[in-house]
Structure 1
Amino acid sequence: MTDQELETDYLVIGAGAAAMAFTDALLAHSDATVTIVDRRHAPGGHWLNAYPYVRLHQPSAFYGVSSVPIGNDSLDVSGTNAGYYELSGADELRAYFARVMHRHFLPTGRVRYFPLSEYLGEHRFVSKLTGKSWQARVRRKLVDTTYVEGSIPATSPPPFEVAEGVRCVPAGEIANIVERAERFVVIGGGKTALDACVWLLEQGVDPGMIRWIKPRDSWWTNRRFRQPLTLLPEFYRGAAIQLEAMAQSSTVEELLYRLEAEGLFLRIDPDVVPTMWRGVAVGEAEAALLRRITDVVRMGHVRRIERDEIVLDQGRVKTSAQTVHIHCAARGLARPPLRRIFEPGRVTIQPFLLGFVCYQFATLGVVEATLASDEDKNRLCPSINFWDVNRDYLSAFLATLTHDRARKAYPTIANWAKTTRLNPLAGIAHLREDPRVIEASERIARVERTVIGNLKRLLDTSES
């Protein structure tokens, strides 16, 4: 079959949150045409495969594309998020990204969208339904949003052997169980495992029926310090707490313990020192709920599940054929070798500051649209790895501080950052007279000159 030809300024591979945020910013700041190619049947990326009870760990106000709000900016009145701003779930997010594509992108006449299509390289792609293929003539750049794409349990097999007859399911399948389980074993230490445990407990499962296998324990960010709108002063106070701790601590360990003492960082077990930091926000009510699970196994990774025992790196524990084992052990965020984000003919989407992925990937769209030189673009947005171990928290924060001032020197980028809802601190200027904001500003002013230097020293002297 002969390739059909098309012309486009940008060829975007993927239609997940990163691709949508980047494209939205590109459309708003340029006259570019964009062709989006995605192997899934609808926009939304991994949200199309998400487990049914998943929700954002950050308020909806900070998520999605800049031009289209999500949610109602309302406070939850029940559940573990009560008193905080709403967290969108999988169904809402899937509908949101479909609405962005079909009611905002496509009506511009500047976007073409090819779902269920496989990118083959060299600007060529093919429909998985019809076999029809296209060769794109890309006038400006290919945009690869898949380079740091993670894996999730719903689409990844367990990274361990499972004997015949063992009940082992990904996180989403526990919502569809038809045969009562004798016990539940949750395998994994990240957000998916946390969500699975919380959901089981919220459904009334006795904590004694849950075993949690954690290869590593994690520090979690207290969601109280990640709130928008009326609660934004607390967010700003959290920034002051972090900067003070970074300026005054003599070791990484001291820094983390100071943040815990201030309530900004949480850990589930106060007797276990976490070695993982993924930037995930958790509410205090969730943490309290999770502490009800006392059967916690810390023997490394699961290697094999037999009908009567689970084999781990450092030992074995008993199990049974009537136990449901919940696989939450996918790799999660990818950490491939870093490459320059902006290159001739190519943009490789990667993080360049700490957290709030939609904000930073939209920023890349603004930078691409408004600056001419790839050298300047990379100077403002040098790539970093997604965070995993405790040390990554410091290095990502340092990257954020170091390059934020450079981006502020460009009026278009700076003005956009002050107004976009994706920037968590964009609204702080409207609260300058709030006593809490005044106090936080004073605390920041006292330490801001020493933060970067001490962060560099901490990173130079730390091992992990």
Structure 2
Amino acid sequence: MRETLETDYLVVGTGAAGMAFTDALLSHSDATVTLVDRRHAPGGHWIETYPFVRLHQPSAFYGVSSVPLGRGTVNPSGVNAGFHEQASADELRAYYTQVLDQHFLPTGRVQHRPCSDHAIGPDGRHFITSRLTGAVQEVRVRSKWVDTGYLEGRIPATSPPPFEVAEGVRCVTAGDVVRVTDPPERVVIIGTGKTALDTCVWLLTQGVPASSIQWIRPREGWWLNRRFHQPAEGLPAFFAGVGLQLKAMAQATSADDVFARLEADGFFLRVDSTVAPTMSHGAMVSEAELALLRQIGDVVRRGHVRRIERDRIVFDDGAVPTGPGTLHVHCAAVGLARPPLRPIFEADRVTLQPLFWSFACYPFALLGVVEATIADTGEKNRMCPPIHYWDAPRDYLTAYLALLAHERARLVHPAVVAWAKGTRLNPLSGLSAHRDHPLVAQTWDIVKQYGPAAAGNLVKLLH
């Protein structure tokens, strides 16, 4: 066993959550940090994801607070023309490597242990084991270890299909679609979430006819309209979207009514307007992407696939035919984990979990600020109670109510308030530059009129 390593914080996982937390911790304290990850480089699931993936949100709001992502450009063409750039997987991998190599390591307070596994012994001691050499090193953690993987989900790229596949059936992940050399007669997309949506859009933009695609959608989903989630000159419309949400939440008579009102406003979108969505993961699409997706007419709604045989796809509710000329694309892994909630802050541990409705990185960076600037564990947990990742439409309301509660709770902590007002990860931090915009002034009136009623009505709608 190698010499014992000492560190203030042991951060297990260098994906988006772990990197955002670490950046905030380093920026607000003089703590030392050891990063450990089973992967060879920082970036989490971006290391293994499908090659044509992009952020569904603008790059401007993603990553770590202290290092901008992207160049602030606007897409000149394609299905997202006119919208701000969304980083590709290659750009994200390069970004996180830059954050580590050029910002974390030069502080002299960070050590990185890639290709390594973390374990806790029965006596509570921490150990790192190299996947390359097998060497084991004890880590003496002076403050806390940070569990960034408590909510780690599964992605199709690294998970087997959640159904049986008979021998001889062509079944690949989204990432393998780009490596197809034998053109299929037909493509079957299996899944409802963002991976399935991205794969359909990519195939259509590559010239695959919509008539050659079958889409197996166990559920219909709600999608956020990208038009309401833009930085810079798009912030007035972003803020207007906040007003639309508060007004809908204040006036609605049911959870379904909230979505009906916001769909009428164009804030929420769905591929098939005749089917009631049972999923809401908070991902974004453009209206141009939606128009493409609606070209796919062969949609199968028989629940989850149980088995793909050489001549049929079997569901709990019957089967549909398939054949040897068909390429089946598995996009069906469970992306968001929902284990039992636990306190985020404990005496020797920080367990990263969602706090409220938001973009991906903002709440995890905020937790780093809270850990660095607030001493009392009870107060930290009072301000930052965890919630589950959203899955069903009702979860959106729960998460938004948590957002309203958190914004009130943090008012007694000036350092946290100041950070939230200044970080680029909080989209509305830049709103002050548009204070004279007519839409901003109009929306402030809506927020004042409907904000308090929205919070009260959400409680009623959720009970």
| Matching residue of 2:129 | 126
Return the letter of the residue paired with 2:348: G
**Secondary structure in 2 matching 1:196:** helix
- Of residues 384, 394, 413, the one that matches 2:397 is 394
How far did 1:50 drift?
Answer: 0.8
Return the letter of the residue paired with 2:349: R
How far did 1:364 drift?
Answer: 0.3
Q: Is residue 419 of structure 1 aligned with residue 418 of structure 2?
A: no
Q: In 2, Cα distance between the equivalents of 1:80 and 1:22?
A: 33
Q: Is residue 293 of structure 1 aligned with residue 286 of structure 2?
A: no
| Matching residue of 1:96 | 95
**Secondary structure in 2 matching 1:138:** strand
Map 1:283-362; keep pairs closer than 5 Å.
Answer: 283-362=286-365
Q: In 2, Cα distance between the equivalents of 1:38 and 1:239?
A: 37
Q: In 2, Cα distance between the equivalents of 1:239 and 1:314?
A: 41
Map 1:38-437; keep pairs closer than 5 Å.
Answer: 38-121=37-120, 122-437=125-440
The answer (yes or no) to whether the contact 1:220–1:281 under 8 Å persists in 2 is yes
Q: In 2, Cα distance between the equivalents of 1:254 and 1:380?
A: 30
How far did 1:131 drift?
Answer: 1.2
Measured against aligned partners, the alpha-carbon deviations of 1:21-66 in whole angstroms (never above 9, x if no partner) come to 0000000000000000000000000000010000000000000000
The answer (yes or no) to whether the contact 1:4–1:133 under 8 Å persists in 2 is no
Measured against aligned partners, the alpha-carbon deviations of 1:263-288 in whole angstroms (never above 9, x if no partner) come to 00000011111111000011110001
Return the letter of the residue paired with 2:104: F
Measured against aligned partners, the alpha-carbon deviations of 1:368-395 in whole angstroms (never above 9, x if no partner) come to 0000011111111100000000110000
Number of equivalenced pairs: 459
Measured against aligned partners, the alpha-carbon deviations of 1:129-188 in whole angstroms (never above 9, x if no partner) come to 011111111110000000001100000000000000000001110011011101000000
How far did 1:355 drift?
Answer: 2.5
**Secondary structure in 1 matching 2:338:** coil
The answer (yes or no) to whether the contact 1:16–1:45 under 8 Å persists in 2 is yes
| Matching residue of 2:450 | 447
Q: In 2, Cα distance between the equivalents of 1:69 and 1:174?
A: 32
Return the letter of the residue paired with 2:345: F
Q: TM-score, normalised by structure 2?
A: 0.98
**Moved beyond 2 Å, runs of 4+:** none
Q: In 2, Cα distance between the equivalents of 1:147 and 1:453?
A: 32
Q: In 2, Cα distance between the equivalents of 1:449 and 1:322?
A: 58
Measured against aligned partners, the alpha-carbon deviations of 1:241-267 in whole angstroms (never above 9, x if no partner) come to 000000000111111110000000000
How far did 1:229 drift?
Answer: 0.7
Q: TM-score, normalised by structure 1?
A: 0.98
Measured against aligned partners, the alpha-carbon deviations of 1:67-103 in whole angstroms (never above 9, x if no partner) come to 1001111111101111110000100000000000011
The answer (yes or no) to whether the contact 1:61–1:228 under 8 Å persists in 2 is yes
How far did 1:3 drift?
Answer: 4.0
Return the letter of the residue paired with 2:72: D
How far did 1:4 drift?
Answer: 2.4
The answer (yes or no) to whether the contact 1:38–1:116 under 8 Å persists in 2 is yes
Which 10-residue stretch deviates more, 130-139 or 151-160? 130-139
| Matching residue of 1:36 | 35
Instruction: For structure 2, list consecutive stretches of 5 or more residues without a partner in the other structure.
Output: none
Instruction: For structure 1, list consecutive stretches of 5 or more residues without a partner in the other structure.
Output: none
Measured against aligned partners, the alpha-carbon deviations of 1:406-440 in whole angstroms (never above 9, x if no partner) come to 11221111111111100011011221111010001
The answer (yes or no) to whether the contact 1:85–1:227 under 8 Å persists in 2 is yes
Q: In 2, Cα distance between the equivalents of 1:111 and 1:411?
A: 28
Q: In 2, Cα distance between the equivalents of 1:320 and 1:102?
A: 49
Q: CA RMSD in A?
A: 0.7
Q: In 2, Cα distance between the equivalents of 1:223 and 1:196?
A: 18
Q: In 2, Cα distance between the equivalents of 1:434 and 1:191?
A: 34
How far did 1:362 drift?
Answer: 0.2
**Secondary structure in 2 matching 1:285:** helix
The answer (yes or no) to whether the contact 1:241–1:259 under 8 Å persists in 2 is yes
Return the letter of the residue paired with 2:263: E
**Secondary structure in 1 matching 2:156:** coil
Identity of aligned residues (%): 59
| Matching residue of 1:19 | 18
Q: In 2, Cα distance between the equivalents of 1:70 and 1:368?
A: 24
Q: In 2, Cα distance between the equivalents of 1:456 and 1:282?
A: 29
Return the letter of the residue paired with 2:242: A
The answer (yes or no) to whether the contact 1:169–1:327 under 8 Å persists in 2 is yes
Q: In 2, Cα distance between the equivalents of 1:17 and 1:306?
A: 38
Measured against aligned partners, the alpha-carbon deviations of 1:330-351 in whole angstroms (never above 9, x if no partner) come to 0001100000000010000000
How far did 1:405 drift?
Answer: 1.4
